[in-house]
Homo-oligomer: A and B are copies of this chain.
Amino acid sequence: MNTPIEHSDEYWMAKALRLAERGLYSTSPNPRVGCVIVKDNRLIGEGWHQQAGGPHAEVHALRMAGDQAQHATAYVTLEPCSHFGRTPPCANALAAAGVARVVGACRDPNPQVGGRGFQHLRDAGIEVTESCLQAQAEALNTGFIQRMRSGLPWVSIKLAQSLDGRTAMASGASQWITGPDARRDVQRLRARSCAVITGASSVLIDNPSMTVRPAETGIEQPEHLWRQPLRVVIDGQQRLSGNEKLFNQSGDILLAVTDPTRVTVQRAAELGQLTLWQSPPTRSGKVDLPALLQFLAAQGHNEVLVESGAHLAAAFVESGLVNELVLYCAPTLLGSSARPLLVLPLESMQQQMRWQWQDIRMIGNDLRLTLRPEQDQPG
């Protein structure tokens, strides 16, 4: 008989991370978390957090393991909670089940909580190993972590352009620069986002529904896990009438305005799907983007996706609050009369905005470039 290979902690944590990923489109405002329980080099329990209000990953895994959990090792992609929230603390549950060892990938990002869950386990006599595949675990919850640490959501901007950096002809014609695979990929970006932000101009020009169409995403998950991101429309000049398509789709809408008394959108408000958010005054008279993002974070939105025109996208980029640029690039030239990627008047090379490559891949026949702001060199 072959002796089974003794798997490493990283092996089991990778399995837990794969489970956590299954919650990519459904756990918000909670983080995506996975758990596996292992005994004598065999998996005896596994689980992942599916939805806010539902059981945590550890609870699913402990249920499956049953009595075997005694003296077993639990792998958790995020520090088990030690407080009573919507569910009882998982640290207690692990201790009560007699688990001998817990391996964690990362701490709870809330600085006021982080470490207490692990401490609770240690106090109960459980051996704790931290930071196993930490970077991979954090990458799965960049939005949740950022919201907990900074009070801001993770902001991605999605843009689609030609090889020569153009988004539409001068006439506005742009259907379609990118192909169906790229558009499907954008549906997946939306599906993982807690909120999608656009501007009144885009609504007036393109009349989008801004919803996730599950069948188009190619995502397979149980029916009940689907949720629509909050649709945020920045309408600083109160130009929307309420007759636009997005107001006829079910799902929540946040209308960010400067003067609520001038808002004419009625029906959506009556249906209860519309919330007005009044921006604090700014020097430019426009909506205060940092304040809007802080508000969204306070409402539990981890990841927001900006899908807007060249003016609003540029305003976000200039605000310094963008964490990720997702640029779909079609193999076509639209020429120099066509519309620019961003309306961003810079004058000198010193003003250029440099980014770092994060990911480069083909999506169908288009190229998807993902970049993050270049970090300042430590001085």
Contacts and interface: CB of A to CB of B under 8 A. Distances in A.
Contact of A355 (B171, B317, B332, B362): B332
Contacts of A35: none
A338 B346 CA distance: 7
A369 B371 contact: no
Given A327-B163, A335-B344, A365 B357 contact: yes
B331 A335 contact: no
Contacts of A310: 336
B352 A162 contact: yes
Contact of A354 (B331, B335, B343): B331
B357 A332 contact: no
Contact of A352 (B325, B332, B341, B342): B332
Nearest to A168: B349
A351 interface: yes
Contact of A163 (B175, B314, B335, B369): B369
Task: State the number of copies, please.
Answer: 2
The 7 closest A-B pairs by CB, nearest first: A165-B165, A335-B346, A336-B340, A335-B344, A164-B341, A164-B165, A333-B353
Contacts of A169: 346-349
A342 B170 CA distance: 16
Contact of A164 (B175, B337, B342, B356): B342
Nearest to A170: B347
B371 A331 contact: yes
Given A333-B352, A335-B352, A337-B346, 20 more contacts: A163-B327, A163-B355, A164-B340, A165-B165, A165-B341, A169-B346, A169-B348, A174-B349, A175-B349, A310-B336, A331-B354, A331-B357, A332-B354, A333-B346, A333-B353, A335-B342, A335-B345, A335-B346, A336-B343, A337-B345
A156 to B, nearest CB: 15
A347 B169 CA distance: 6
A367 interface: yes
Interface in A138-178: 161-166, 169-171, 173-175
